[in-house]
Amino acid sequence: MRIPICCILLLAFVGFSHGNVVSPRLCGGQVFVEDSVVIEISSAHEKCHWYIQTQEDRILVFTVLNGNLKEAQDFLAIHDGSNIDSPILRVENQKIHERSRKDLPASVYTTQSTASVRFTKAPNSNLKLKIQKAIDCPFNLGTESQCGRVVDAVSCYCATFTKRNHLSQRSYCNSHNMKLLSLETYEKEISIHNAWGNEALFLTSLTDEPNEGTWFWESTDTMLYPGYSNWCSKQPDNSAAFGGEDCMMINSGANGCWNDCDCDKDVSDAICQALP
């Protein structure tokens, strides 16, 4: 955990399942968000000011763990930036991606790596304000694409419906500061399937091109086995009819199982991802 020197005298952190917790005894200060931070808000927080920062190429997302952020706006203001005149972020003014999960909690996103939280009056009850580092997720990557927060509140996924081979799709994702999709868990695949599963065949970053039979997620440099997999029946088969199949695409339809495919000759749509 990296904390600016100026914060060491101001903050006391203890372990917590949602990240670090700022003691409710503290009234204001500076916080650097490496992953996530929770500020416990009590009646003593009236007129307190917090200055929040994360790494420069990321943004911040605010939620309330044990309440509703929209209701919490009655006693706090979240500014998009560290200045007192920075715009105030409100839940009702947030633009929602069409393909984002519908069960995500009410939240606000900054447009930059800094924010400030100002408490205008004391809350009626103690609350926990959660602040996370997040990806700035575009609404699309141009024509024939869709983006959304389809897995969680901090990552970003974009489907491109322009058919390309594996190398071209990888380059396309990289050109937008993203990488081809990886599916290390069943839960993640279900989220992706709920967003786009019935619409197309999607190329992913899974490949065994460097070493036949040794499949790994190129985007995260994670080995497939012994992790989660969802191969279709009799797949992967490395069909000789196509001179070998060293990449993977997700089938459309109800099961969304995986087929190996020719990295060069098979063209398909793809999903890009950006993780915080």
Per-residue pLDDT at 16 exceeds 50:
no
Range scoring the smallest mean pLDDT among 24-28, 83-87, 192-196, 227-231: 24-28
**What's the structural domain count of the chain?**
2
In a domain, 101, yes or no: yes
- Residues 80 and 151 placed together within one structural domain of the fold: no
Per-residue pLDDT at 19 exceeds 70:
no
In a domain, 170, yes or no: yes
- Main-chain dihedrals φ then ψ at residue 146, nearest 5 degrees: -140, 145
Average pLDDT over residues 192-198: 92
In a domain, 106, yes or no: yes
- Residues 100 and 175 placed together within one structural domain of the fold: no
In a domain, 90, yes or no: yes
- Residues 130 and 30 placed together within one structural domain of the fold: yes
Range scoring the smallest mean pLDDT among 24-28, 73-77, 186-190, 267-271: 24-28
- Residues 81 and 123 placed together within one structural domain of the fold: yes
Contact (CB, 8 A) for 181 and 273 = yes
- Residues 155 and 264 placed together within one structural domain of the fold: yes
Average pLDDT over residues 186-208: 94
Confidence at 243, pLDDT banded by 50, 70, 90: low
In a domain, 51, yes or no: yes
Range scoring the smallest mean pLDDT among 10-24, 41-55, 132-146: 10-24
Per-residue pLDDT at 218 exceeds 70:
yes
Give the CATH number of the domain where residue 96 resides.
Answer: 2.60.120.290
The pLDDT value given to residue 3: 39
- Residues 231 and 191 placed together within one structural domain of the fold: yes
In a domain, 140, yes or no: no
The pLDDT value given to residue 98: 85
Distance, first Cα to last Cα, the chain = 15
In a domain, 25, yes or no: yes
- pTM across the whole model: 0.87
Give the CATH number of the domain where residue 186 resides.
Answer: 3.10.100.10
Average pLDDT over residues 120-146: 90
Structure tokens at 34: 């490496």
Percent of the chain with pLDDT over 90: 72
134, 154, 176 - which closes a domain: 134
- Residues 13 and 114 placed together within one structural domain of the fold: yes
- Residues 107 and 19 placed together within one structural domain of the fold: yes
- Residues 10 and 130 placed together within one structural domain of the fold: yes
- Residues 45 and 164 placed together within one structural domain of the fold: no
The pLDDT value given to residue 11: 38
- Residues 81 and 166 placed together within one structural domain of the fold: no
Long-range CB contacts (within 8 A, 24+) of 167-176: 167/263, 167/264, 169/203, 169/268, 169/270, 170/205, 170/218, 172/141, 172/270, 172/272, 173/270, 173/272, 173/273, 176/138, 176/141, 176/272
- Say if residue 24 is preceded by a cis peptide, omega within 30 of 0: no
- Main-chain dihedrals φ then ψ at residue 70, nearest 5 degrees: -60, -40
Per-residue pLDDT at 69 exceeds 80:
yes
- Residues 149 and 264 placed together within one structural domain of the fold: yes
90, 106, 134 - which closes a domain: 134
Contact (CB, 8 A) for 89 and 79 = yes
77, 106, 134 - which closes a domain: 134
Contact (CB, 8 A) for 114 and 102 = no
The pLDDT value given to residue 24: 55
The pLDDT value given to residue 125: 76
Q: Domain span at residue 184?
A: 145-274
In a domain, 139, yes or no: no
In this structure, the dihedral spanned by the alpha carbons of residues 62, 63, 66 and 70, taken in order and rounded to 10 degrees, is 110
Give the chain's mean pLDDT: 88
